[in-house]
């Protein structure tokens, strides 16, 4: 099913949408949260200008924070017209977006998804809407640039920004705007979102890639913009990074199970890593079995050094280590989810959709 793209115009002087199906007040900026007390104020205030110019509401959908996030949002609501707090009993980001869309029913034409664990330029929303107008896209996705503080987090960020760390994901690189099959979610037309059923709430991770599979399959178009981007704050410990990427791997298996044929060449490279580690574990009986694993690890470390040299930033010399953690955790998560499915037996396709502990952030 294909719906004709919405047309609208944005007056960049007044900032108010005019004409078409996106007048002022027909846009909602949605921020899913779960324990984001450190970042939520800066994110809300980064959105205020765009919300004011576009007549949009800012909706924080909280999944049960225990770090004071809710109190902070309530305090911000007293000084921010149009700021709304909703409670998300399912905790997941996918459920948070669906909840906000349902809450506003037919009163909105566009949603802008904003992650709390990130930083945004003040004209972020304006740029997204201008791109939708210019391209006729049903969804506008953005590039992510990881940034951090402290030696470890900066090395994790360098790994996520590098080709060997992100595997060439379109929204992790640079370049001109283009139509893609997947990217980091930002702006989406509500008619398209609803036409494919919104986010699948059985997905705790990879829900954006899974939704993009359905959008593209239904004939909707996704535009990766080069006009704006977001700064992403990665995990600041290797343990937290490993847990995150383990869940990404499990989420990718769930997507592949639901959408056969959706895996790319780079996914198969990652899938091979856990078996290499298993072979290496048998090295005491046959040392040669450790060579493939050792070669992969050496490549990661050398790639990290090359990244530091090319960027003339010696502080990034250790970014190969977090890249190795990301890749291996992803692979273990993929195989772990597949093993769980195998133990449950055939004919249980719906159970491929993982339900690990709810988390926000990419």
H or E element at residue 72: helix 69-79
Q: Do 211 and 314 sit in the same domain of this protein?
A: no
Range of the domain at 115: 9-234
> What pLDDT, on the 0 to 100 scale, is given for residue 3?
35
* Gap between the Cα atoms of 253 and 222, Å rounded: 23
DSSP string, 150-175: SHHHHHHHHHHHSHHHHTT-GGGS-S
| Ranges in the chain, pLDDT < 50 | 1-23, 346-362
> What pLDDT, on the 0 to 100 scale, is given for residue 160?
94
Domain count within the chain: 2
- Tell me the pLDDT tens digit for each residue of 318-358: 999 999 999 999 999 999 999 987 776 544 444 444 443 44
Residue pair 131/217 in contact by the 8 Å Cβ criterion: no
Q: Do 220 and 247 sit in the same domain of this protein?
A: no
Q: What are residue 232's phi and psi, to 5 degrees?
A: -100, 135
- Tell me the pLDDT tens digit for each residue of 70-79: 999 999 999 8
Q: Do 16 and 112 sit in the same domain of this protein?
A: yes
Q: Do 189 and 267 sit in the same domain of this protein?
A: no
- Count of beta carbons in the 10 Å neighbourhood of residue 123: 17
User: Which residues lie across from 62 on neighbouring strands?
Assistant: 33, 87
Q: Do 229 and 249 sit in the same domain of this protein?
A: no
Q: Do 122 and 265 sit in the same domain of this protein?
A: no
> What pLDDT, on the 0 to 100 scale, is given for residue 14?
28
Domain end marker among 181, 200, 234: 234
> What pLDDT, on the 0 to 100 scale, is given for residue 24?
53
Q: What percent of the chain has pLDDT over 90?
A: 76
Domain end marker among 204, 234, 264: 234
Per-residue three-class SS string for 200-259: CCCCCCCHHHHHHHHHHHCCCCEEEEEEEEEEECCCCCHHHHHHHHHHHHHHHHHHHHHC
Reduced to 3 states (helix: H, G, I; strand: E, B; else coil), residue 113 is strand
Q: Do 194 and 329 sit in the same domain of this protein?
A: no
> What pLDDT, on the 0 to 100 scale, is given for residue 166?
80
Q: At 156, which CATH number?
A: 3.90.550.10
Q: Do 159 and 271 sit in the same domain of this protein?
A: no
Contacts of residue 48, Cβ cutoff 8 Å, sequence gap at least 6: 58, 80
């Amino acid at each position: 099913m294909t719906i004709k793209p919405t047309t609208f115009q944005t007056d960049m002087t007044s900032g108010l949408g005019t004409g078409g199906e996106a007048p002022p007040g027909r846009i909602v900026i949605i921020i899913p949260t779960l324990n984001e007390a450190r970042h939520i104020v800066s994110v809300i205030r980064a959105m205020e200008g765009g919300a004011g110019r576009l007549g949009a509401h800012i909706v924080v959908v909280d999944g049960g924070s225990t770090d004071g996030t809710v109190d902070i949002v309530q305090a911000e609501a007293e000084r921010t017209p149009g700021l709304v707090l909703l409670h998300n009993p399912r905790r997941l980001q996918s459920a948070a977006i669906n909840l906000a869309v349902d809450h506003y029913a037919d009163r909105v034409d566009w949603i802008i998804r904003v992650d709390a664990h990130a930083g945004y330029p003040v004209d972020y929303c304006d740029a997204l809407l201008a791109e939708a107008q210019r391209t006729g896209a049903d969804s506008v996705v953005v590039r992510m640039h990881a940034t951090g503080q402290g030696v470890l987090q900066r090395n994790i960020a360098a790994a996520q920004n590098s080709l060997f760390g992100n595997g060439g994901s379109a929204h992790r690189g640079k370049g001109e705007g283009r139509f893609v099959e997947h990217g980091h979610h930002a702006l989406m037309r509500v008619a398209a979102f609803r036409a494919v059923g919104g986010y699948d709430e059985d997905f705790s991770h990879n829900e954006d890639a899974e939704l993009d599979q359905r959008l593209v399959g239904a004939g909707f178009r996704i535009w990766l913009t080069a006009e704006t981007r977001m700064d992403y704050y990665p995990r600041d410990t290797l343990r937290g990074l490993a847990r995150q990427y383990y869940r990404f791997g499990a989420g990718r298996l769930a997507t592949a199970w639901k959408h056969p044929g959706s895996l790319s060449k780079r996914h198969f490279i990652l899938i091979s890593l856990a078996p290499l580690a298993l072979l290496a574990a048998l090295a005491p009986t046959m040392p040669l079995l450790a060579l493939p694993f050792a070669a992969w690890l050496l490549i990661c470390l050398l790639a990290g050094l090359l990244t530091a040299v090319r960027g003339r930033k010696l502080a990034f010399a250790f970014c190969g280590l977090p890249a190795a953690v990301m890749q291996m955790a992803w692979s273990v998560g993929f195989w772990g989810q597949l093993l769980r499915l195998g133990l449950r037996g055939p004919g249980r396709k719906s159970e491929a959709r993982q339900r690990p502990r709810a988390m926000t952030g990419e």
